[in-house]
Structure 1
Amino acid sequence: MRLRLLDLVARPAIVTAVAVLVLRGLTLASRFLLSLLLARMLSPDEMGKYGLVTAVLAFALLGLGLEFYSYMFREMVPATPERRVQIIADEAALGGLTFLAAAVLSVLAVFAGLFPARLAPWFLLILLTEHLSLEATRFLVIMSRPICAYVVVFLRGAIWVYAIAILMFTVPSSRSLEAVLIWWGLGGASSILFTAISLRDLPWRELQKRRPDWIWIGHGLRTARPFMLTAAGALIISYVDRFVIDAFIGRDALGIYTFYSTILIGLLSLGSSVSHQFLPKVIAGYAAGADFYRTALRSFFWSMLALVCATTALSAVAMGPMLALLGLSTYAASIGVFYAMLPGIFLRMLADVPSYALYAARSDKHLLICNLGSAAVATLLNVVLVPVFGLYGAAFAGGIASAALLFSLVGFAVHRMRENFREPGATEPVGLPTDPDMLYP
C-alpha cells in the first residue's frame, strides 16, 4: 500500500499539479502581503500614487500586448519548433513598436504634469518586464511546460514582494514607493532571465536574416480586436473608480480605497485562477452536447459559489481584527467602505460562470456587449456617485456594475443554451478569457 502511494505521488502529473498549486498559492499570498506591507510602510498619499500607477499599468499592458496572444495561442499550439520561434519573433516585433509608442506617451504625460517624473523610468521598466514575462508565461503554457510557466509567474509577481518585505522591516530608508517599483522591476527581470534559460532549446538560429511577417501580424490584430475591447471593458470596471476618486476626493482617500481594492482584486484573481481550471471542461462539455454542457456548468457554478461565499465571509470577519492587530487605524476608520465593496466582488467572481459559458459557445459578441455595457455603467455611476457619496459612491458604483455584468451574462448564456448545439468537435478556441494576471493590486 505504501509503495503504491509513493508511486502515485511520484507520477509526473501529480508532481506537476502540486508544484503549480504551490507556486500559484505563493503568488496569490504575495498580493495579500503586499497590500498589508504598503499600508504599514507607506502613507495614504503614497498608497494612492501606487493605486494610480497600477491602474495605468494595467491599461498600458493591454495597449502593449493588444490581446495579440488570443490569436497567437491558436497559431502556436500545432506549430513546429521552427514556426514557434518565428511566431515569438513576430510578436516581439509588434511589442517593440507598441512599447516605443508607450514610452513616447509616458514622456508626454510627464511634460503635461499627468504623471510624476520620478516614477516614469521605473514605470517603463515594469511595463517592459511585465509584458515580456506575461507573454513568456503564455508561451510556456502552450509548450506544455506548466512548472516553468508558474515559476515565471512566481518570479514576476511574488518573490520580490517577500524580498522587499524583509528589506523594509530591516532598512527603514527602503520604505518608499520608488523602492517598491525598483524591486518590482527586478522581479520581472529575473523572470525574463529564467525564461531565456527555459527556451534556449528552441531553434533560434532559424531567425537569422528573417524579417517580421507584418501581413501575418496585421491579420492577428484584426482577429484579436474584439478580445482587446472585451479586456478593456473588464479593466475599466476594475480601475475607473481610482481615477474618479483621485479627481474628486483626493490622493489620501484614494490610498485608503486602494488598500481595500488590493485585497479584493486578490480575491478576484483567486477566483479567476480557479475558473481557468474549469475552462477545458466547459469547452469539452459544449462540444459534447447540451447535457454535458449543463453538467459542466453546474459543477462550475457550485464550486465557484462555495469559493465566493467562503472567501467573502472570511474577509468580512477577518478584516476588522487584522486592522486592529496591525495598528492601521487610518484604514480601520473607513472599514465600512470595504464592507460596501464586498457585494460587488461577490457578483464579479460569480460572473465567471456565465462568461466562460459564453466563451465556450464562441459567443464573442455577447461577451463584448456585456463587458463594454458594464464598463459604461461603472464609468457613469462613478462620475455621478463619487462626488456625492465619496468612497461609498465608488463602492456602490462597482457593485451595480458587477450586477449588470453578471445578469447580462446570465441572460445571454441562458439564451445560448436554448439554441441548437453544434456537432461535436466544432468548437475551437479563438482567444482566452481575461487573464487574472492582468489585474494588479
Structure 2
Amino acid sequence: MRSRVLDLVTRPAIAGTAAALILRAMTLASRFLLSLLLARMLSPAEMGQYGLLTATLAFALLAVGLEFYSYTLRELVPATSERRARIIADQMALGSAALLAIGVMVFGAIAAGWFPIRLAPWFVVILITEHVSLEATRILIITSRPVRAYVGVFLRGGIWVYAIALLMFAAPSTRTLETVLVLWALGGVLSIGFSAFSLSELPWRELRGYRPDWSTIREGLRTARPFMFTAVGALVISYVDRFVIDIFVGRDALGIYTFYSTILIGLLSLGGSVSHQFLPKVIAGYAAGVDTYRAALRSFFWSMLALASATVIICGFAMEPMLSVLGLSTYASAIGVFYAMLPGIFLRMLADVPSYALYAARSDKYLMLCNLGSAVVSTLLNVLLVPVYGIYGAAVAGAIASAALFLSLGILAIHRMRETRKEPAELDTVGLPTDPDMLYP
C-alpha cells in the first residue's frame, strides 16, 4: 500500500500539480500576512497611502500590458521555438513603448503634485519588475511549465513578504513603507531572473537585427481590445472606492478600508486561482456540445459556491477575535465595514462562473459590457454614498456593484446556454478573461 502511494505522489504530473498548488497557497498566504504586517507596523495614514499606491499600480500595469497577452497566448501554443522568440520580442517592444509613456505620465504627476516624489522611483521600478515577471509567468504557463511559473509568482509576490516580516521584527527601524517597496522590487527582480533562466532555451541569438513586427502588434491590440475594457471594468470595481475615500473621508479612514480590502482581494485571488482550473473544462465543454457545456458549468458553480461560502463564513467568524489577539483596536473599531464588504466579495467570486461561461462561448462583447456597466454603477454609488456614510458607503457601493455584475453576467450566460448549438464547436486556445494576479492588496 505504501509503495503504491509513494509511486502515485512521485509521478511527474501529480508532483507537479502538488508543487504548483503549494506554491500558489504560500503566495496567497503571504498576501494575508502582508495585510496583518502592515496594519501592525504602519499607521493608518501610511496604510492608506499604500492602498492608493497599489491601486494606481494595478491600473498602470493594465496600461503597460494592454491585455496583449490574450493575443500572444493564442499564438504561442502552435508556434515553433523561433516563432515563440519573435512573438515574445514583439511583446517586449510594445511593453517598452508603453512603459516609456507611463514613465512620462508619472513624472508629469510628480510635477503637478499629484504623486509623492519619495515613492515615485520605487513605483516605477516595481511597475517594470511586476510587468515583466507577470508576462513571463503567463508565457511559462501557456508553454506547459506551470511549476516554474508558480515559482516565479512566489518570488514576485510571496517570498519577500516572509523576508520583510522577519526583518521588521528584528529591526524596528525598517518598519516603513519604503522598506516594503524595496523588498517588493527585489522580489520582482528575483522572479525575472528565474523566468529568464527558465526561458533561456529559446533561440534568442537568432533575434540579432530583428525588428518588431508592428503590423502584427496592431493586430494583437485589436484582438486584445475587448479584454482590455473588461479588465478596466474589473479594476474599477476593485479600486475606485479607495480614490473616492481618500478625497471625501481622508487617509486614515482609507487605511482602515485598505486593510480589510487587502484580505478580501486575497480571497478573490484564491477564487480566481480555483476558477482557472475549471476554465479548460468549460472551454472543452462548449466545444463538445450543450450537455457537456452545462455539466462543466454545473460542477464549476457548486465548487465555487462551496469555496465562497466557506471562506466568507470563516473570515466572518475569525476576523474580530484575530484583531483582538493582535491588538489592532483601531481596525477592530470599524469591524462593521468588513462585514458589509463580505457580500460583495462573495458575489464577485460567484461571478466567475457566468463570466467563464460567456468567455468560453466567445461572448467577449457581453463580458465587456457587463464589467463596464458594473464599473459605472460602482463609481456613481461611491461618489454618492462615501461623502455621506464614509467607508460604510464604499462597502455598500461595492456590494451593489458586485450584485449588478453577477446578475447581468448570470442572465446573459443563461440566455447563451439556451441558444448554444447542439453540434460540437471548434476548440480554440485562448487567453484568460480575468487575471487574479492583476489585483493587489
Instruction: Identify the TM-score tier after normalising by the shorter chain.
Output: over 0.9
**In the TM superposition, what is the alpha-carbon distance from 1:430 to its structure 2 partner?**
3.9
Q: Give the corresponding residue for 2:179.
A: 179
CA distance in structure 2 between the aligned counterparts of 1:23 and 1:424, rounded to whole angstroms: 36
CA distance in structure 2 between the aligned counterparts of 1:70 and 1:246, rounded to whole angstroms: 33
Which runs of 5 or more structure 2 residues have no equivalent in the other structure? none
**In the TM superposition, what is the alpha-carbon distance from 1:427 to its structure 2 partner?**
3.7
Cα deviation 1:108-131 (Å, max 9, x = unaligned) = 001111110000000000000000
Query: Secondary structure of 2:149's match?
Result: helix
**In the TM superposition, what is the alpha-carbon distance from 1:425 to its structure 2 partner?**
4.1
**In the TM superposition, what is the alpha-carbon distance from 1:422 to its structure 2 partner?**
6.3
Cα deviation 1:205-249 (Å, max 9, x = unaligned) = 110111111111011011101100000000000000000000000
CA distance in structure 2 between the aligned counterparts of 1:429 and 1:15, rounded to whole angstroms: 25
CA distance in structure 2 between the aligned counterparts of 1:6 and 1:92, rounded to whole angstroms: 43
Q: Give the corresponding residue for 1:293.
A: 293
CA distance in structure 2 between the aligned counterparts of 1:314 and 1:101, rounded to whole angstroms: 44
Query: Secondary structure of 1:440's match?
Result: coil
Q: Is 2:291 the counterpart of 1:307?
A: no
**In the TM superposition, what is the alpha-carbon distance from 1:4 to its structure 2 partner?**
2.1
Q: Which amino acid aligns with 1:173?
A: S
Cα deviation 1:133-152 (Å, max 9, x = unaligned) = 00000111111111110000
Query: Secondary structure of 2:67's match?
Result: coil
Q: Give the corresponding residue for 1:243.
A: 243
Query: Secondary structure of 2:421's match?
Result: coil
Q: Give the corresponding residue for 1:386.
A: 386
Query: Secondary structure of 2:144's match?
Result: coil
Q: Give the corresponding residue for 2:74.
A: 74
Q: Give the corresponding residue for 1:195.
A: 195
Q: Is 2:95 the counterpart of 1:100?
A: no
Between 372-381 and 415-424, the greater mean CA deviation after superposition: 415-424
Between 417-426 and 249-258, the greater mean CA deviation after superposition: 417-426
Which runs of 5 or more structure 1 residues have no equivalent in the other structure? none
Q: Is 2:352 the counterpart of 1:333?
A: no
Question: Which residues in structure 2 correspond to 1:246-265 (within 5 Å)?
Answer: 246-265=246-265
Question: Which residues in structure 2 correspond to 1:345-364 (within 5 Å)?
Answer: 345-364=345-364
Whether the 8 Å contact between 1:237 and 1:374 is mirrored in structure 2 is yes
**In the TM superposition, what is the alpha-carbon distance from 1:429 to its structure 2 partner?**
3.7
Q: Which amino acid aligns with 1:103?
A: G
CA distance in structure 2 between the aligned counterparts of 1:326 and 1:205, rounded to whole angstroms: 54
Q: What TM-score results when the alignment is normalised by the length of structure 1?
A: 0.99
CA distance in structure 2 between the aligned counterparts of 1:421 and 1:361, rounded to whole angstroms: 10
Q: Give the corresponding residue for 2:88.
A: 88
Cα deviation 1:174-229 (Å, max 9, x = unaligned) = 00001100100000000001111111111111101111111110110111011000
CA distance in structure 2 between the aligned counterparts of 1:21 and 1:432, rounded to whole angstroms: 19
Cα deviation 1:313-351 (Å, max 9, x = unaligned) = 000000000000000000000000000000100111100
Identity of counterpart residues, as a percentage? 73
Whether the 8 Å contact between 1:287 and 1:422 is mirrored in structure 2 is no
Q: Give the corresponding residue for 2:156.
A: 156
Cα deviation 1:20-63 (Å, max 9, x = unaligned) = 01000000000000000000000000000000000000000000
Q: Is 2:138 the counterpart of 1:138?
A: yes
**In the TM superposition, what is the alpha-carbon distance from 1:85 to its structure 2 partner?**
0.6
**In the TM superposition, what is the alpha-carbon distance from 1:68 to its structure 2 partner?**
0.2
Q: Give the corresponding residue for 2:401.
A: 401
CA distance in structure 2 between the aligned counterparts of 1:295 and 1:95, rounded to whole angstroms: 40
CA distance in structure 1 between the aligned counterparts of 2:326 and 2:421, rounded to whole angstroms: 54
Whether the 8 Å contact between 1:360 and 1:427 is mirrored in structure 2 is no
Query: Secondary structure of 1:194's match?
Result: helix
Question: Which residues in structure 2 correspond to 1:213-232 (within 5 Å)?
Answer: 213-232=213-232
CA distance in structure 2 between the aligned counterparts of 1:334 and 1:360, rounded to whole angstroms: 41
Whether the 8 Å contact between 1:286 and 1:421 is mirrored in structure 2 is no
Q: Give the corresponding residue for 1:433.
A: 433
Q: Give the corresponding residue for 1:212.
A: 212
**In the TM superposition, what is the alpha-carbon distance from 1:2 to its structure 2 partner?**
2.5
Whether the 8 Å contact between 1:229 and 1:368 is mirrored in structure 2 is yes
Whether the 8 Å contact between 2:289 and 2:425 is mirrored in structure 1 is no
Query: Secondary structure of 1:15's match?
Result: helix
Q: Is 2:424 the counterpart of 1:424?
A: yes
Q: Is 2:268 the counterpart of 1:268?
A: yes
Q: Which amino acid aligns with 2:385?
A: L
Whether the 8 Å contact between 2:386 and 2:392 is mirrored in structure 1 is yes
**In the TM superposition, what is the alpha-carbon distance from 1:421 to its structure 2 partner?**
1.6
**In the TM superposition, what is the alpha-carbon distance from 1:431 to its structure 2 partner?**
3.2
Q: Which amino acid aligns with 1:399?
A: A
